[in-house]
Chain A
Amino acid sequence: MIRTMTIEAMRARSELVTKTREFFLSRGYVETDTPLLAPWLIPESSLEAFATEFKHPFMEEMPLYLIPSPELWMKKIIADSRTNVFQLCKSFRNAESLGRLHNPEFTMLEYYTIGGDSSSSARLTEALFEALAPPDSPKEARPPFRRMTMAEAFHAYTGLDLDSLVQEEAMIEAARGLGLMVNSEAPWEEAFNIIFLSLVEPVLPMDRPLILDEYPAGIECLARDIPGRPYKERWELYVRGIEVANCFTEMVDGRAVADYFRSQAEKKAQALVPHAVDTRYPEIFGDFPPCSGVAIGFDRLFMVMMGMRDIGEAINFPFSGFFKDKAKTEA
């Protein structure tokens, strides 16, 4: 069994967990604890799940899935209780890369603020960083946050005017104009991601944490549209070039949520691990309060605050070690 985390790191991580709980509890947030094993998931075409089965001598078998995030359950609690909530729990994502920044089983920190929006969540997250960062944490992981919109980043690093590239063909042409290879049938989102991942993300400023704000509306998600402009109230937080958090002003319009579900369920038909979808989910939004949610990869948060380079230093028994163990037990 390959353990790469030191006892000192375990102690520091445990302190970070305690401080996180203190931060939210002192602000009146309720800590939730929801199932990790679920009979249905939110359809998200970008994620793959782990599937298993419930077995019982007298009952029918039931397919179950490990959650890729606790979002569905937390939103049900918000709809019922209209209370600010937070949760620290394991989440699971299949078919992602292994390596320096990924582990299929990871810890997620999610928090939702009633009446909040993506701007107030940015301030809350900055305060969280202020409260959590150990005194000797690297400067790149400490507030104040830098803020840049996606359109500003595109303009600065590619010279492109993102506002004018809402059409599929225009985005493909823009990518090709920059010497990037793009399939002529590529959807808008793919052409966007090819430019973003090749030329923008690798050169984002790293001197301080960066809120990359206003993601294009062309990337489907459960964030609210910015009226009159082709963007959403969504940001991602990059620390040292590593994607650490994602935030939405939550989409609360039941019809828009139902459309999102329909479109994602269609795309999900090509998933490696198909799963059941709770079709009642959009009903939650019949009377859902305006709110904003943030999801933080807690292992990565710990990593950047400690100045670690590899997620294996931040967690015990990283998945990559299982392959080495497997090779040894088979030998």
Chain B
Amino acid sequence: MVRGGEINLGTCLLINGAPHIVVDREFVSPGKGSAFARVKAKSLKTGNVITQTIKTADSVEDAQVDMVDCQYQYFDGENFMFMNNESYEQFGIPLEAHEDKRPYLKEGETYTLIMWEGEPIDIKIPYKMVFTVVESENYIKGDTVSGATKPVTTETGLVVRVPLFIKQGEKILVNTESNDYVERVND
């Protein structure tokens, strides 16, 4: 159980029997009312985001989840296939609930998976990741103002705006929350 006042971003709650991860929370006290935590939580099964309001002094059931490191292997057309780094067990995560993660999944890369009752329910994407530029238009040097950017596509299909000096085949560090370019990475 977790108290309303202790709920934080990333807390996993069991809401109407299904695991949800808290993506936003604020403390609200309506006029002439007591203090509540207003929580936005994303279903780890369907991806739907719902709002719940919990009295800060009350307790609600949290979802007991485990974090397991797994290697992403390939997409089989319906599932993202992963392998548990310790047990070498292989399993798939259906595309539908996690389609938004697809541009961040690199084959051979290790990700932390959130497991609930033995089932993988979410993929944690690192805050910053390195990608290779596979498609980039060539701009001629000197014909644009400084600070200008162009769109490039990474090996995972992610489109990122980068400075003009970035060339095809180069590696870039990307903020995965904003999809902003951070810096060029030299091997």
Footprint of B on A, CB under 8 Å? 44-46, 95-97, 99, 179-181, 183, 189-190, 193-194, 196-199, 201-202, 219-221, 236, 243, 246
Contacts and interface: CB of A to CB of B under 8 A. Distances in A.
B36 A197 contact: yes
Given A96-B29, A97-B26, A199-B51, A179 B16 contact: yes
Interface string B67-109: 0000000000000000000000000000000000000000000
Interface stretch (B54-62, B136-144, B156-164): B54-62
A243 B27 contact: no
Contacts of A196: 30
A179 B28 CA distance: 20
Interface in B7-47: 15-16, 26-36, 38
A97 B27 contact: yes
Contact of B53 (A95, A197, A219): A197
A200 B16 CA distance: 21
Contacts of A46: 29, 31-34
B50 interface: yes
B27 A181 contact: no
Contacts of A183: 55, 58
Nearest to A212: B31
User: Closest 5 A-B residue pairs measured CB to CB?
Assistant: A97-B27, A197-B53, A198-B53, A198-B51, A194-B53
Interface residues of B, number: 22
Contacts of B30: 193, 196-197, 201, 243
B52 interface: yes
Contacts of A243: 30-31
Contacts of A201: 28, 30
A196 to B, nearest CB: 7
B32 A44 contact: yes
A199 B40 CA distance: 11
B32 A194 contact: no
Q: Which secondary structure characterizes the binding site on chain B?
A: strand
Contact of B38 (A45, A95, A190, A198): A198
Contacts of A45: 34
A183 B1 CA distance: 14
Contact of A180 (B28, B31, B53): B53
Nearest to B52: A181
B33 A189 contact: yes
Contacts of A190: 34, 55
A199 B51 CA distance: 8
A193 B27 CA distance: 13
Contacts of A180: 52-53
- Of A44, A183, A198, most B-chain CB atoms within 10 Å: A198
A179 B48 CA distance: 13
Interface in B142-175: none
A150 to B, nearest CB: 11
Contacts of B58: 183
B26 A219 contact: no
Interface centre among A46, A189, A197 (most CB of B within 10 A): A197
Contacts of B36: 193-194, 197
A180 B35 CA distance: 17
Residue of A97, A236, A243 with highest tally of chain B CB at under 10 A: A97
A179 B53 CA distance: 11
Given A99-B26, A99-B27, A197 B38 contact: yes
A201 B33 CA distance: 14
A103 to B, nearest CB: 14
A236 B51 CA distance: 22
B12 to A, nearest CB: 15
Nearest to A195: B53
B33 A219 contact: yes
A96 B31 CA distance: 12
Contacts of B38: 197-198, 202
B52 A97 contact: no
